[in-house]
Amino acid sequence: MSDLSLTNPAVAGKTAPPAGARGFRLPTQWLGVAPFFIFALMFLILPTGYLIVGAFQNDAGEYTLENIVALSQPSILAAYWISIKVSLASALIGAFAGLAIAIAIVRGGLPNWVRATTLTFSGVASNFAGVPLAFAFLATLGRLGLVTVILNTVFGVNLYAHGFNILSFWGLTLTYIYFQIPLMVVIITPAIDGIKREWGEAAATLGATQSQYWRMVVIPVLWPSFLGTVILLFANAFGAIATAYALTGSSLNIVPILLYAQIRGDVLHNPHLGYALAFGMIFITGLANIFYIWFRTRSERWLT
């Protein structure tokens, strides 16, 4: 057997190459995420910073608080209030409906293909918005929409005679619910999957009923995830503009439409007031996302 010890002169005489001779290594581990950081910088961070700075400037480029003070106008406050109500209503309805669907496909004993089909559809429907979604609802529930005509001719029910209007508060809320429910299903399903079956077996061993198990184990565990997802759905609806503008135009005074009118409109052209409106939206959605991250962190203590 050959001697490989350090006492062997042939081995001991060889020294490690100096650090400078190893050459420069490119940080290749960062190349994979570089496109994400570049995209976030160009389309999120820089535009957001530009809007925030513009909210505190006038047309001459001087710094002022006039735009922030102008947010207290009754029309602007009413627009914020309508946006908050639409976002909150669609978030709550979408959250409860999506939670029921997610529980059914995960713990309802349904065939596996039902879960796979539901999750696939939810992934597609949660991103279906804008002009196509507005056209779909106009073609379905408009005054001459398919469902409206069928209900009127077959069942004698005239939706619009009973006060329904697709261009109203509840019409926009119903449209938002279309993508809020699938988004809830996609987000809350992993949390329901994280509920361990051993907890149910332990509760049954200790004599707990099914209602006690859900009330004392499942609901406390899911509660942070549920609240966090409701907040995320609220932020998702609060910042939507394409669907609302294509559906209602300027008939419903919500913040995104008012912002669009201030920046691009011919009559209400005041870009810096639009920047202030955007700053208010950023503040509200940013606060909502902070609460979402906090609730998500609390839920992961149980589900990991």
Residue 245's pLDDT is what? 85
Q: What is the pLDDT of residue 211?
A: 87
Residues of the chain with pLDDT under 50: 1, 4, 6
Helix, strand, coil percentages, rounded to 5, for the chain = 75, 0, 25
Q: What is the pLDDT at residue 274?
A: 87
DSSP 24: P
The predicted-structure confidence for 48-96, as pLDDT tens digits, reads as follows 899 899 999 988 888 999 999 999 999 899 999 999 999 999 999 999 9
**How far is residue 118's CA from residue 186's CA, in Å, rounded to a whole number?**
9
User: Is residue 203 included in any domain, yes or no?
Assistant: yes
Residue 44 domain flag = no
Domains contained in the chain, number:
1
CB 285 within 8 A of CB 235: yes
Asked whether residue 235 is domain-assigned, the answer is yes
CATH of the domain at 184: 1.10.3720.10
**221 within a domain of the structure (yes/no):** yes
Give the three-state DSSP class for 126: coil
* pTM, entire model: 0.82
> Measured between alpha carbons, how far is 29 from 202 in angstroms, rounded to an integer?
45
Residue 281 lies in a domain: yes
- 144 contacts: CB under 8 Å, gap ≥ 6: none
Specify if 22 maps to a domain: no
Residue 87 belongs to a domain: yes
Domain that holds residue 120: 73-303
Taking the CA of residue 182 as centre, how many other CA atoms within 13 Å lie in the half-sphere pointing to its CB?
17
* Separation of alpha carbons 230 and 37, rounded Å: 28
DSSP bridge partners of 57: 63
Look at residue 23 and tell me if it is in a domain. Answer: no
Res 77: pLDDT: 92
> Closest Cα to residue 83, out of 290, 272, 288?
288
pLDDT at 16: 55
| 57 three-state secondary structure | strand
Per-residue pLDDT, 230: 93
